[in-house]
Amino acid sequence: LMKTHEKAFTDIKNYYNDITLNNLSLINTLKEQVEESKKKYEHMEKDRAEVMAENKRLLEPLREAKEQVDLLKKQLANYEKDKETLRMTKARLKVTEEEQRALKWEHEVLEQRFEKTQDERDDLYRKFVKAIHEVQQKSNFKNLLLEKKLGALADTLEKKEAQLNEVLSASNLDPTALTVVTRKLEDVLDSKNSAIKDLQYELARVCKAHNDLLRTYEAKLTQFGIPTEELGFKPLESTVGGQALGQGPAGLVSAPS
């Protein structure tokens, strides 16, 4: 029985020794695991701290990056808007260039027409001046002849009247004969006066025709923008016996009374 008890005790002792050894081994293993876990935790804490520090360090660049993104988004929106504006501006520029080409062509046409009109105006002015010179020369010559004829007739009339008065004063004609002679002389004087009046009327008609032509050309000069002062001609004025000739309304020349 003792041997049995000793054997059982030894078995139990060995069992507990094994358990103790196993527990010690487990404890050592757990201690190692704890130590390893502690090291891992400390390493992870260190990593976490580094990550947090890195995150903190990246917060400002992240904010700046977000602001930059917002700015770029706005710039992109403005770019699209500016792009549309540029497209519309190019379209308007194309239309404007076409209008400019049309206006340039029209300007060239108008300039050619203006130059042609200027040439026509200058040619008309030269012809006009030449015609005025010719008309004035002819009118002056004709007026001179008419005035000479009038002067000669007036002188002849005065001489005839003076001779008549001398004859009548010197003669001893009876009243009846004197009356006959006087009537014949009066008829001659009336004929001469009529001739003088006809010449006066012709002189007035020539002056009037010249002045009418001058006014017509002055109107044309005004129409073409040429000052009438450049013409250098004045209306003809002729006075015979104190009566102004050639000054009546256009187209009207009254016979002298």
Greatest distance between any 2 Cα atoms in the chain: 237
**What does the pLDDT read at residue 113?**
84
Q: Answer yes or no: is 189 within a domain.
A: yes
Distances (CA, A) of 64 to 36, 50, 59, 141: 42, 22, 9, 106
Below-70 pLDDT ranges, the chain:
1, 128-129, 132, 135-136, 138-147, 150, 153-154, 157, 160-182, 184-189, 192-193, 196, 217, 221, 224-257
Helix (H, G, I), strand (E, B) or coil at 255: coil
Residue 242 carries which DSSP code?
A: T
Residue 96, sorted as left (phi over 0), alpha (psi -120 to 50) or beta, turns out to be alpha
Q: Answer yes or no: is 4 within a domain.
A: no
Q: Which of 228, 173, 237 is nearest to 203 (CA)?
A: 237
Return d(Cα 102, Cα 105) in angstroms, integer: 5
Q: What is the pTM of this model?
A: 0.33
Return d(Cα 184, Cα 19) in angstroms, integer: 199
Helix (H, G, I), strand (E, B) or coil at 240: strand
**Range(s) of the domain holding residue 144:** 125-245
Percent of the chain at pLDDT exceeding 90: 3
Return d(Cα 48, Cα 57) in angstroms, integer: 14
Q: What's the CATH number where 155 sits?
A: 1.10.287
Return d(Cα 235, Cα 247) in angstroms, integer: 9
Q: Answer yes or no: is 204 within a domain.
A: yes
Provide the domain count of the chain.
1
Q: Answer yes or no: is 200 within a domain.
A: yes
Q: Answer yes or no: is 196 within a domain.
A: yes
User: For 60-114, how does the pLDDT look when each residue is reduced to its tens digit (9 = 90+)?
Assistant: 888 888 898 888 888 888 888 888 888 898 999 999 889 888 888 988 888 888 7
